[in-house]
């Protein structure tokens, strides 16, 4: 507690004014109950804390500066640390490097929990591995091997800030929401309000940048959830899935269809990119579908779906309803109750 209140000493000094001892005890109990309820409310508020500004997160939460990726060029081991709130962390050791820098799903992935004490994070020892984070360096010791020291790094998507090629439709450039139904903009960023693009497309390439909030106490689908829907029907998930397995319902997954080949998600409050090549369903002259849609997806420059078939009419919560037809369809940005934001969205139709 940041402060103490001397309830007992103050009450004992009060004159009784003929009030019975039982009444005084009852009042004391009521006061204690009131303070307990207030404390619980404050704790609940702390655990729902959400940061949308990286500078504020860095200033207000020590854990934010610890969470992230640890890697050194030439090292055959990468590490990702996830903040869980209250100085608690999960460390993932990745044999071969970081996702997109050597590590693949088939490679070893070890999870170790740790906690922050006196400026250092000590992780629980396993039979063969121990780890300590101190002075911004992660020190890993493994049985029979020399210690590995990994500094914290900050990766950026190679397509961040990509300019729209000639012939593109610019859906959002930070100046207006004129191309979006139910579009809302704040501080030059498009909000995840459940907004649908007014322009519609068939075969195209899309570039989009997104940022998830920092919610250290949240778990699973409550941690920065949104989604980008292609053809108004097929969703690539947006979520703070940093360091997780890379499941179908995590960032990069095509919801209800396919998990990503690798989890290329970066930490929360880091700008990330989707670069998607989408080919619409194909139909005969009589309107009979002869081929499902297909898409290639790059998350932060890493190919996570390569020419993936989309063998369903739609995915969960898609705004597109009714029979699939030979027609252009919109891009949709899902509202899932989280302050996810978007920028630099453009579409280049394929010829």
* Separation CA 51–CA 214 (nearest Å): 5
pLDDT of residue 32: 47
Whether 233 and 313 have beta carbons less than 8 Å apart is answered as yes
Q: How confident is the model at residue 11 (pLDDT cuts 50, 70, 90)?
A: very low
pLDDT score of 137 more than 60: yes
Whether 213 and 338 have beta carbons less than 8 Å apart is answered as yes
Domain locations in the chain as residue ranges: 7-47, 54-153, 169-349
* Separation CA 136–CA 115 (nearest Å): 15
**What order do you get walking across the sheet with 195-197 strand by strand?**
180-181, 195-197, 332-333, 226-230, 234-238
* Separation CA 245–CA 96 (nearest Å): 16
pLDDT in tens, 164-175: 999 999 999 999
Sole residue written with tokens 């989890």: 263
* Separation CA 115–CA 135 (nearest Å): 15
pLDDT in tens, 248-261: 999 999 999 999 99
Three-class DSSP category at 287: coil
pLDDT score of 332 more than 60: yes
- The predicted model scores a pTM of 0.86
pLDDT score of 74 more than 50: yes
pLDDT score of 156 more than 70: yes
pLDDT of residue 7: 30
Structure tokens at 287: 């309107």
Using alpha carbons, select from 305, 245, 239 the residue that is nearest to residue 277.
Answer: 305
Q: How confident is the model at residue 221 (pLDDT cuts 50, 70, 90)?
A: confident
Query: What DSSP line would sit under 14-72, residue for residue?
Result: S--TT--HHHHHHHHHHHHHHHHHHHHHHHHHHHT--B--HHHHHHH-HHHHH-EEE--
* Separation CA 8–CA 2 (nearest Å): 19
> Cβ neighbours of residue 302 under 8 Å, at least 6 residues apart?
99, 100, 262, 264
Mean pLDDT (whole number) for 156-182: 98
Three-class DSSP category at 265: coil
Q: Which of 49-58, 76-85, 198-207, 212-221 has the lowest mean pLDDT?
A: 212-221
Mean pLDDT (whole number) for 215-222: 87
pLDDT score of 186 more than 80: yes
54-153 has CATH 3.30.420 classification? no
* Separation CA 187–CA 126 (nearest Å): 47
Options 3.40.50.880, 2.60.120.560, 2.40.30.270, 3.40.1260.10; which CATH number does 169-349 get?
2.60.120.560
Number of H helices, E strands in the chain: 4, 23
Structure tokens at 93: 């050791």
How many CA atoms does the CB half-sphere of 314 hold within 13 Å? 16
Q: 134 has which bridge partners?
A: 137
Mean of all residue pLDDT scores within the chain: 88
């Amino acid at each position: 507690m940041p402060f103490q209140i001397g309830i007992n000493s103050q009450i004992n000094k009060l004159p009784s004014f003929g009030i019975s001892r039982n009444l005084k005890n009852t009042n004391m109990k009521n006061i204690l109950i009131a303070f307990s309820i207030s404390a619980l409310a404050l704790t609940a508020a702390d655990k729902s804390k959400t940061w949308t500004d990286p500078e504020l997160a860095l200033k207000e939460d020590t854990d934010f500066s610890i969470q992230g990726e640890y890697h050194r060029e030439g090292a055959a081991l990468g590490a990702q640390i996830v903040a869980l709130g209250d100085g608690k962390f999960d460390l993932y050791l990745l044999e071969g490097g970081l996702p997109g820098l050597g590590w693949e799903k088939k490679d070893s992935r070890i999870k170790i929990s740790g906690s922050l004490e006196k400026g250092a994070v000590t992780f629980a020892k396993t039979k063969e591995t121990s780890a300590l984070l101190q002075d911004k360096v992660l020190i890993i010791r493994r049985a029979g091997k020399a210690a590995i020291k990994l500094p914290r790094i900050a990766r950026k998507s190679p397509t961040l800030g990509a300019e729209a090629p000639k012939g593109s439709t610019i859906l959002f450039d930070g100046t207006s929401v004129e191309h979006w139904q139910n579009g809302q903009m704040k501080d030059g960023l498009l909000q995840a309000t459940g907004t649908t693009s007014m322009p519609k497309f068939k075969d195209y390439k899309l570039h989009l940048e997104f940022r998830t909030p920092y919610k250290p106490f949240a778990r699973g689908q409550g941690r920065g959830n949104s989604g980008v829907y292609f053809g108004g029907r097929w969703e690539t998930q947006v979520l703070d899935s940093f360091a997780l397995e890379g499941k179908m319902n995590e960032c990069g997954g095509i919801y209800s269809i396919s998990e990503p080949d690798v989890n290329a998600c970066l930490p929360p409050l880091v700008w990330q990119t989707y670069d998607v090549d989408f080919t619409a369903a194909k139909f005969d002259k009589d309107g009979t579908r002869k081929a499902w849609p297909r898409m290639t997806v790059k998350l932060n420059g890493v190919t996570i779906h390569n020419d993936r078939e989309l063998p369903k009419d739609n995915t969960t919560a898609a705004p597109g309803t009714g029979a699939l037809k030979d027609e252009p369809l919109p891009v949709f940005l899902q509202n899932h109750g989280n302050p996810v934001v978007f920028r630099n969205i453009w579409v280049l139709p394929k010829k």
